[in-house]
Chain A
Amino acid sequence: MNEILQIKNVNKNFGGLKALNNVNINIKKNTLSAIIGPNGAGKTTLFNIICGNLKSNTGNIIFNNKNITNFPTHKISKLGLCRTLQVKSIFNNLTVKDNLYIALQSNKGIFKLNNSPSCEREIQDEIIRISELLNLNNKLNLIAGSLSHGDISVIEIAIALCLKPNFLLLDEPICGMGPSETEQTIKIIRNLSKTVDILIIEHDMDAVFSLAQDIVVMSQGSVIASGTPEQISKDEKVISTYLGEEDE
């Protein structure tokens, strides 16, 4: 199978509101894919269903050939499918180092009294490796919640990396960032995509078209188009519902 994630006939209703309407998406391995669409298109709802934060009414989620439909969130995370949230979510009152430590500890097991010295060393080495990779090494001892929005977004990605993911879902990773932070985060995502499969939701079209190899467009709970950035930029339905006509 060439797909890392298959979303099959997924439906989700909130009372009378149809948030997802028979969604079918295949995400290929070794690609950086993106989901775009106007607000209320159902992108984050779809992420929530993939990660077990919400239960779908019907349909199946297949991850690495395993049916993970309605699995609990922590089990999905253990399978290597990790995500960041639209509203940045970290452990605000802990230091950056403790944020990474807890994520790494979660991977090594929680129900024990002590870590063995080798396990403790591995955790410390991983903290150094990941913080250097994401330029967080000089912020390790700072309280995470006191840092800038851009830094918090990077810490969230760092936490996800601590879980040794093989598939990363990034929900609006550059939302609310300034130009320099955006540029830095795009660079980080591009570098990560060499080793981890990534699916992002993003509204910044320049970022999406420069990063993604595959794009899925959603509108009002349905998939309206999918393909390469070139195909999407020329798709008439996408232009009329989301991208808009270019100025003459």
Chain B
Amino acid sequence: MGFLQVQKVKQILMDRRKLFYCFSIITVFVPIIFPIFLDEFWVKLYSEILIWSLLAASVNILFGYLGLLSFGQALYFGFGMYGVAIAITKFGFGLWGSFAIGVCVSTAMALLAGSLAVRLTWHYFAIITVVFSLIFYFVALSWKPVTGGDDGLPFAPPDIVNFGNFKIALTNSIHQYYFIIFFVLTCYYSILKLLESPLGKAFIAIKENNLKSELIGLDTYKIKLFGFVFAGLVAGIAGCLFAFYGRYASASYMFYHVSGEAVVWAIIGGIGSFLGPIVGTGMLIVLREELSHFWDHYLIIVGTAVILIVMFFPNGIAGLFKKILK
């Protein structure tokens, strides 16, 4: 590759919009490209990684752009899951209706928790997000008739589209893949638009200096609340997608260790980096899948890798790439 081509590739990699377009094109062609080299399983795993990456992206919106470290994003993920599962099993909703309910309840929960949480900062903020998460985790665990308790709430997914003979259904793995990536890419595009907007600049200002932001006339409470609800919405969509993907909802996904995992994914990928959550989530889930075949205690290796990355590359993998490109 000539010098000019190298420069061009560098420019694309440094421009998050262009990088997003490249990532979207690759993602669209994954079901065609992956089977050439790999097992079908990896296409499925890729879509699972993308769903989980949305949960990490919701952490990244809060921590990477607003400076708010949340250990409670699994709550909105869980609300999305249960919104879908309860709407289908208890009220007989179709796919789109249950999806809408899942998104609405998770966003409403984020609004409720956020209106209290964003008044606080640092460890107080982190603690209140965990507390909210724990309260609803135990509610979900004990409210067996509605949530299924320990067993969770399994369901048969309704069709995406059903016009007589013409049917698009989640039972078809290709349909499911494109259904998932449509919403994942839409979420990432919305995050991109937000970051490029005046509001995105206000996010950065608040993260940099909260007091100064207030002194220049920014209503930091409203802006943080908006960010919190938006992050809750993204986590909620991830929860809905994961419910459709796994065909069930479970309280275990609302537990705070799921939120903690999302924080680790976001940090490893590169906090404050737009596509960092995908890199971090992808890397750690693939590592888990590969290592767990060989050794039961694979988490020791994963943990060591995480510690080394945090120590030597505090801006994560994306930060390391940026450094190399510069």
- A106 and B202 in contact, given A77-B214, A83-B215 (Cβ under 8 angstroms): yes
Encoded as 1 (CB less than 8 Å from any A CB) or 0, chain B from 208 to 225 comes to 110110111111100100
Residues of B within 8 A of A82 (CB): 215-216
Binds B, one of A112-120, A199-207, A208-216, A235-243: A112-120
B206 to chain A, nearest CB (A): 10
- A159 and B216 in contact, given A111-B199, A115-B198 (Cβ under 8 angstroms): yes
Binds B, one of A30-38, A91-99, A124-132: A91-99
Q: Is B322 an interface residue (CB 8 A)?
A: no
- A112 and B197 in contact, given A91-B205, A91-B209 (Cβ under 8 angstroms): yes
A90 touches B209 (CB 8 A): yes
A77 touches B199 (CB 8 A): no
B193 touches A89 (CB 8 A): no
- Chain B: number of interface residues, binned into ranges: 20 to 34
- A94 and B217 in contact, given A105-B198, A110-B223, A112-B197 (Cβ under 8 angstroms): no
Q: Is A179 an interface residue (CB 8 A)?
A: no
**A111: nearest residue on chain B (CB-CB)?**
B199
Q: Is A192 an interface residue (CB 8 A)?
A: no
B222 to chain A, nearest CB (A): 8
**B214: nearest residue on chain A (CB-CB)?**
A73
Residues of B within 8 A of A51 (CB): 215
B204 touches A94 (CB 8 A): yes
**A144: nearest residue on chain B (CB-CB)?**
B208
Q: Is A24 an interface residue (CB 8 A)?
A: no
Measured CA separation A73–B192 after assembly (Å)? 30
- A77 and B216 in contact, given A89-B211, A91-B209, A102-B205 (Cβ under 8 angstroms): yes
Q: Is A62 an interface residue (CB 8 A)?
A: no
Residues of A within 8 A of B204 (CB): 91, 94, 102
B218 touches A53 (CB 8 A): no
A113 touches B217 (CB 8 A): no
A113 touches B214 (CB 8 A): no
**A103: nearest residue on chain B (CB-CB)?**
B216
Q: Is B10 an interface residue (CB 8 A)?
A: no
Measured CA separation A238–B215 after assembly (Å)? 32
Measured CA separation A107–B200 after assembly (Å)? 15
B208 touches A92 (CB 8 A): yes
A102 touches B216 (CB 8 A): yes
B107 to chain A, nearest CB (A): 17
Q: Is B18 an interface residue (CB 8 A)?
A: no
- Chain B residues 168-200 with CB under 8 Å of chain A are 193, 197-199
A92 touches B209 (CB 8 A): yes
Q: Is A18 an interface residue (CB 8 A)?
A: no
- Chain B residues 213-254 with CB under 8 Å of chain A are 214-220, 223, 226
B215 touches A113 (CB 8 A): no
Instruction: Name the residue among A82, A102, A105, A115 with the largest chain B CB count within 10 angstroms.
Output: A102
Q: Is B201 an interface residue (CB 8 A)?
A: yes
Residues of A within 8 A of B226 (CB): 111
**A80: nearest residue on chain B (CB-CB)?**
B217
A233 to chain B, nearest CB (A): 33
Measured CA separation A113–B201 after assembly (Å)? 11
11 contacts between A and B (CB under 8 A): A51-B215, A72-B214, A73-B214, A73-B215, A77-B216, A90-B209, A106-B202, A109-B198, A110-B218, A114-B197, A163-B216
Closest 3 A/B residue pairs (Cβ):
A77-B217, A73-B214, A91-B208
In addition to A73-B215, A112-B199, 8 A-B residue pairs with Cβ atoms within 8 Å of each other are: A74-B217, A82-B215, A82-B216, A89-B215, A94-B204, A101-B201, A103-B216, A105-B202
**Residues of B in contact with A (beta carbons under 8 Å apart):** 193, 197-199, 201-202, 204-205, 208-209, 211-212, 214-220, 223, 226
